[in-house]
Structure 1
Amino acid sequence: MKDPVTISIKKEEVTLDTIKQDVVETTDRKKQDALCTVLDQDNPFMAIIFCRTKRRADELEIALYRRGYNCEKIHSDIIQSKRERIMKTFRHGDFQYLIATDVASRGLDISGVSHIYNYDIPESVENYIHRIGRTGRAGEEGYTCLFIDPKDKGMLAEIEKTIKFKIPRRKLD
């Protein structure tokens, strides 16, 4: 049996063998439609969707809500008491999709999160590892999907080099 591939980042270890990773190549203009296609195909019980900025998280929450998705957002502009309420209701499964920025990715330990969607590619490999580490915990299997447009290919190459794995491309119908 081969040893699991584990990446260590600042006191945290992420075992990549338990996390299935995919990349969806799209354009920024078509990214929302691509995300919705993947969400409809996967229909996870609980998932976190990561955006790079608070503004993108705000816009995505509105767009997904209008399309009928059960979602809430969390980022640093939301007051602490509301963030705590959102996290409590997410842990209880009151909504399906948590839209978050990288600030929220650190320290989130929510059992039951089976899917991570990287709507925006993170600014660093370390942030990618932190994001995907929110799933595949305690020996459970997890899934992560990274949406990229042509300008993101450099960062994707850096991620793949660091994790020593060429992430498969997911084709959408």
Structure 2
Amino acid sequence: MILREFEGIANHFQNHDHIRLILKYDESISHSIYAASDIFIIPSIFEPCGLTQMIAMRYGTIPVARKTGGLNDSVFDVDDDTIPLQFRNGYTFLNPDEQGVNSGLERAISRYRNNPESWHQLVQKVMSIDWSWEFSASQYEDLYAKSVARARAAASRA
């Protein structure tokens, strides 16, 4: 039933110059969408890891994401003063509803329209984030070394 509704919408806009609904996955189209977007909305109710936000940022697309799962681990709100400035890289919202999405989206659009220099700096910032395994592995290696050192220090005091 729902698929037929979406197929009807896709057919309605199939010859439109500015709107397209594509109901299949296409790798090259997905890259074009990321590259052509300024803002990427990720209203996930559940997100165990989340790669879309990382891909979007690599293309310079600012994520507006719900604070859940892997999104909460990688998208840090630019307006959250409790987060160090160097980590703030997108817009987040808590509630998975229209008001939640709108709260993040309205703030992003406001910055985009009213402060283009600040927006451009944010775009440059997110494009330079290192999401590689090499970086992550290095962080885990450092954490492991600190844990081992603490364990040895505790054992020597015992």
Give the TM-score, by structure 1 length. 0.29
Higher-RCO chain (CA-CA 8 Å, sequence separation at least 6): 1
Higher helix share: 2
Q: Decide which structure has the larger Cα Rg and report it.
A: 2
Judging by fraction of residues, say which structure has more strand.
1
